[in-house]
Chain A
Amino acid sequence: MTTAANSAPVSGAGTVARRARKTKSPSALSWRDRAEITALSAPAVILFITFVILPVIMAAYYGFFKWKGFGVPTNFVGFDNYRTILTDPEFHNVLRHNAVVVLGSLALQGPFALGLALLLNQKMRGQSLIRVLIFIPYVISEVIAGTAWGLILQTDGAVNGLLRKLGLGALANDWISNPKTALTILLFILTWKYAGFAVIIFLAGMQGIPEELTEAAKVDGASYWQIQRKITIPLLGPTMRMWGFLSVIGSLQLFDLVYIIWGQYISSTAGTSTMATYMVVNGRMSGNYGYGNAVAVVLFLISLVIALTYQRFVLRRDTEGALTGSSR
């Protein structure tokens, strides 16, 4: 196979497409090859098309109907659903919340995780235990995390209890149902939950940086900070940009945690509603399936545009051989 051409970092649909086209021209396939190809790929391809691609296409189709979810959709309304979405002030709020989550996640989790990864990037006893412990919030399910935080942050919960114990009772707040603080609380919980993931990815990336580089710098008299600033962090660029991509996509599609913690308040007044919770609340839960599907399409298109833009402008240099060139 064309290993050399194909061993650049894989980074998603667009770049893969570009690279994949370079793969070598097909040689003649025997009937036996064809049979094997079909047999080996059929289960995955059939499942994937039926349960991933088809539903997305169906969402695009249903989005043109005012439809309650029973029988064949008949009430075609064209782009009416989309007009309603784009002019709904609540949807504008939702967009703002998602934007805050995207930027806030990058700004909080990134530096925190980078600092921690730099600290732990050394041969030291107990590293593996520390790694496991840091990763625990990420492994706990959203439902458990949400239930726990809901109990901790409620009016008579542990946080307020602790504040009163410390004589800071004046700071006690109705953390979750106060829309003024809700979004900040959400960002805090997201950082708690997902920073460990960034740490693990960054550590894995750092372990891929050749030791000779840092050794050579040390020999030349570089200080610890110089090494981090001039070698580790720049060489971690591709990993960080990749993490940023995952973080942005995840932030745009945020549903579970918000739905679990703010479920009973979810509305424009909660201050944390996201595109995905808006979709579920105004679609399925209101029995308006057509509308929900139109929201899903909008969410998909927004994610797609942002992802493609990110790949075009941020990830491009990684796929042009920067990583393969520098880290080999």
Chain B
Amino acid sequence: MTAAVTSLKPLAPAESAAGGKPRRRRAAKPKPEWASPAVYLVAALVIAGLLAPVAYVILGGFRNNSQITADPAGLPDPWVVDNYRVVLTSSGFWQQVGNSTIAAACGTIGTVTFGLMVSFVIARYPFKGGSMLYMLFAAGLMFPMTVAITPLYILIKNLGLMNSLAGIIIPGIAFALPQTVIILVPFLRAIPKELEEAASLDGCGRMGFFWRVVVPLSVPGVVTTGILTFVGSWNSYMLPLFILTDHSKYTLPLGVQAFASEHSVNTAQVLAFTSLSMIPALVVFSLFERRIVGGLTGAVKG
């Protein structure tokens, strides 16, 4: 997990998320206008620059090695689908997709569940330990996995979790908790006291309040942290590198690296493997991108 992903959090509270201010005004708005062509031109140039390497990888997968050797910067001519077919029919690729999916899904569910629970305690229980808990997790931002990786490796070995997905899921949750807590606590604090009182007048205990009011109201924050955790976990490299040595347990990042070094002469197939392995994170992200910006907008507003 990169430090940048892990440390997306300290942005700030989101009073609007749950504070009763209506956020969804989009329906009432007319469709936005087209901006001036110059804006689109500059945007197109920047995007072309940013995406050129990605395009090279995807298109390169449609070439064969002699095409790549003869003209490293050319277009496929003719288009070859063989590389993609070979990767898609290889069991190794699908096994790694499966491992990555299990690791990222379990990691995300665990992080969001535990993170929401502890954030609720920090935000809504008036006790001294709450601020200490918050400090504990906030300080966790300063504890990068890089520093902890060797002892972590020894710890996982002693727990008998080497070479198991649990060995990357559990520490992954622990390291994703700080950003989750720091994004979620402001969301939960912003839920008005009156709502809680009203709920209790209606005979709702604090746990009932948690399930019926808090969980639904914190959905925007949960979605933001969930996506960040999922993408971070999907892309995580250092932890799997240390913990997983058995090829059958490899996640996609390790798989890409292993494939690239095993087939280093077969550039075209490496490119095909690489482009296929970036699809899932891209799809998840594109589907939910609006939610991330939404969650952060709420946060940055302060």
Contacts and interface: CB of A to CB of B under 8 A. Distances in A.
B274 A37 contact: no
Interface string A92-124: 000000000000000000000000100110111
A236 B302 CA distance: 12
B27 interface: no
A52 B143 contact: yes
A51 to B, nearest CB: 4
Nearest to A59: B151
Contacts of A292: 150
A58 B151 contact: yes
A140 interface: yes
A56 interface: yes
Interface residues of B, number: 122
A271 interface: no
Interface stretch (A78-86, A177-185, A189-197, A212-220): A189-197
* Size range of the chain A interface in the assembly: 35 or more
Contact residues of A: prevailing secondary structure: helix
Contacts of B296: 200-201, 204
Nearest to B72: A161
B71 interface: yes
A69 B154 contact: yes
Contact residues of B: prevailing secondary structure: helix
Interface in A129-150: 130-137, 139-145, 147-150
A168 to B, nearest CB: 12
B189 A250 contact: no
A144 B11 contact: no
Interface stretch (B85-93, B166-174, B215-223): B166-174
Interface string B246-259: 00000011101100
Interface string A202-218: 01110110000000000
A48 B300 contact: no
B206 A299 contact: no
B66 interface: no
A3 interface: yes
Contacts of A139: 231, 235, 281-282, 285
A77 interface: no
Contacts of B35: 122, 124-125
A34 to B, nearest CB: 9
Contacts of B151: 54-56, 58-59, 62, 293
Interface in B141-185: 141-144, 146-155, 170-171, 173-175, 177-178, 181-182, 185
A149 B60 CA distance: 13
Given A10-B12, A36-B121, A141-B235, 19 more contacts: A10-B138, A20-B131, A20-B132, A20-B134, A26-B128, A40-B121, A41-B117, A44-B115, A52-B174, A52-B178, A53-B143, A126-B40, A141-B237, A152-B53, A160-B72, A204-B293, A238-B302, A255-B238, A299-B147
16 contacts: A6-B186, A26-B128, A44-B115, A56-B148, A124-B32, A126-B34, A134-B50, A136-B54, A140-B281, A141-B253, A141-B277, A148-B271, A161-B72, A165-B71, A256-B2, A303-B142
Interface of B: 2-4, 7-13, 15, 31-35, 39-40, 42-43, 46-47, 50-51, 53-54, 56-57, 60, 69, 71-74, 113-115, 117-118, 120-144, 146-155, 170-171, 173-175, 177-178, 181-182, 185-186, 189-190, 193, 206-207, 231, 234-235, 237-238, 242, 252-254, 256-257, 260, 267, 270-271, 274, 277-278, 281-282, 285-286, 289-290, 292-293, 296-297, 299-302
